[in-house]
Amino acid sequence: MTVTKAESGEDSGEDGMRDTYVPSQRRLDRERHKRVRARRATAIAALSTLVTAVVLYLVVVSAPGWERTKETFFDGQYAREALPKVLDGLWLNIRLLLICGVLVLVLGMLIAIARTLPGPVFFPLRALAAAYTDFFRGLPLIINLMIVVFGVPALRLQGVTVDPVLLGGTALTLTYSAYVAEVFRAGIESVHPSQRAAARSLGLTNRQALRHVVLPQAVRRQVPPLLNDLVSLQKDTGLVSIGGAIDAVRASDIIAQRSLNYTPYIVAGLVFVALTIPMTRFTDWVTARMDRQRAQGGAI
């Protein structure tokens, strides 16, 4: 490493001297070698991806039933017909995601807090919260949807809605709240007891310690799994179509049943994939960022 001193032009004294870093030739060669390796790795990855794609394409198009499959699943005419209707139905899926997502987070947090309340006086509450999570985590979502969407209207209860969208959203909230509650509980229990003890020693009550010390750390640690649950919820909003709600899946099903062509299903699937990929990449970015912070001794 070479260090040179240059005058500032204003003062020739010691205050006017400035140290300028000049990297050594060895360091420059090492950085250049890293750039060459990175470009070579990128080129190899692109070439191998292209070769794999070409091979897969040739395997698919050379299959004996490809022409029939192409007409049934990849018809451009039916795709153009289905896309506007699928996008109209997708707005229902997005609304369900936003509303149910908020409800799931709130209910899941309350259940997690109930399961972690200390003391024998809260045992009934802990038992009910545990029973809730065990039941709805074990019950398949599709069965839960059928029970709520078809069972509640059959009871003919006064003042209870029979709207399949609201009932489907209720079933989604019940199921996903159980999963999210366990995520929150894991985050709460991962906070060392000394954190709560330190907060109590500073004069905070149990409620204040939970709110200001424990929960912020627990939520921050569980952001990646929470985002993963949100991605899963986004896809499962399409299941409300079993009750007759016209969402993206149901809109594609109507066209497919009328035309006996399955291209609308492919369109609906691609729309959901296009909606899911940005959220998945965002989840990966958040996870990687938090891993880097932990590795550097930053925020936990």
SS3 22: strand
| Prediction pTM value | 0.75
Q: What pLDDT, on the 0 to 100 scale, is given for residue 265? A: 92
Strand partners, 4: 20
Place of tokens 């809730």: 132
C-alpha angle with apex 187: 182 to 112, nearest 5 degrees? 40
Place of tokens 């490809």: 66
Distance (Å, whole) CA 67 – CA 32: 51
Report how far apart, in Å, the C-alpha atoms of 245 and of each of 208, 248, 296 are: 43, 9, 49
- DSSP annotation string for 231-282: HHHHHHGGGGGGGT--SHHHHHHHHHHHHT--HHHHHHHHHHHHHHHHHHHH
Strand partners, 21: 3
The pair of structure tokens assigned to 286 is 């958040």
Half-sphere exposure of 61 (CA within 13 A, CB side): 6
Contact criterion met (CB below 8 Å) for 148 and 75: no
Q: Name the strand (E) or helix (H) holding 109.
A: helix 76-115
Helix, strand, coil share (%) of the chain residues, nearest 5? 80, 5, 15
Q: What pLDDT, on the 0 to 100 scale, is given for residue 17? A: 47
Q: Which residues in the chain show pLDDT less than 70?
A: 1-19, 294, 296-300
Distance (Å, whole) CA 163 – CA 151: 12
Which stretches of 58-122 are assigned E, i.e. beta strand? none
Q: What pLDDT, on the 0 to 100 scale, is given for residue 9? A: 46
**273-296 burial, b for 16+ CB within 10 Å, e for fewer?**
eebeeeeeeebeeeeeebeeeeee
Q: What pLDDT, on the 0 to 100 scale, is given for residue 204? A: 81
Distance (Å, whole) CA 99 – CA 108: 14
